[in-house]
Amino acid sequence: MNLALFDLDNTLLAGDSDFEWAQFLIAQGVLDHEVHEARNLEFYRQYQEGTLDIQAFLDFQLAPLARHSREELDAWHAEFMTRRVQPLIHAAARNLVAEHRARGDLLAIVTATNSFVTGPIARAFGVSHLVATIPAQTDGRFTGRPRGIPAFREGKIARVETWLESLGLWWSSFEESWFYSDSHNDLPLLEKVTRPVAVDADPTLTGIAAARGWPCISLRDDDR
């Protein structure tokens, strides 16, 4: 059995679910347009540049979850899936996941985006294992804070290892391990697996992949 790990935003998705969720809430009038759009764009720029303060970002990202009931959030998310997420799912991404599933590989989506936003997206891909940043809850309501280590940079390795151990597995349990990602922020996990793959990669990761002989692929060139 082999291990296949997939980044979500700008890898399996032709866009960023984190960014799109905030933009969706702004469009719904849940968040203030002037204030939140500027901050959303700034955090996205920092992520692309590799300068993101993950704790500051999570304070911004998770705060709206704490201000609303789960019923409201779930209703918004259902609409978000239809309007914002489904158009970002291309056939090539579905086919890649299906190929690994057909081989009998253990599959997981590994993402820094919180599990409330990404859980339904993972299910849309038919991937039952999600390794994500966890939003803390008290009595069924989100607190606006993360629980445990965010699944970001080296935190992705820590989260994956905790998940593997929960299954009684470890890296050595697999002959080969794959990780697909678009971002240089994912270099720690890309360097950890035996088969790193750059997917529609940012310029920094494209250069690194070329220098190291890593495969570079696109999941965008299809008709969905």
Q: What residue ranges do the domains of the chain occupy?
A: 3-217
**Segment among 32-41, 90-99, 185-194 with least mean pLDDT:** 32-41
The answer to whether 93 touches 219, Cβ cutoff 8 Å, is yes
Q: What is the pTM (predicted TM-score) of this model? A: 0.94
Count of CB atoms situated within 10 Å of the CB of 164: 20
A 10 A CB-CB count for 215 gives 12
DSSP lists the bridge partners of residue 146 as 135
pLDDT mean over 186-209 = 98
Mean pLDDT of 108-131: 97
pLDDT at 20 over 70: yes
pLDDT for 36? 82
Instruction: Reply yes or no on whether the pLDDT at 174 is more than 80.
Output: yes
Catalytic residue annotation: 7, 9
Query: Would you state the pLDDT for residue 223?
Result: 46
CB proximity list for 105: less than 8 A, separation 6 or greater: 1, 2, 3, 4, 178
- Provide the CATH topology of domain 3-217: Rossmann fold (3.40.50)
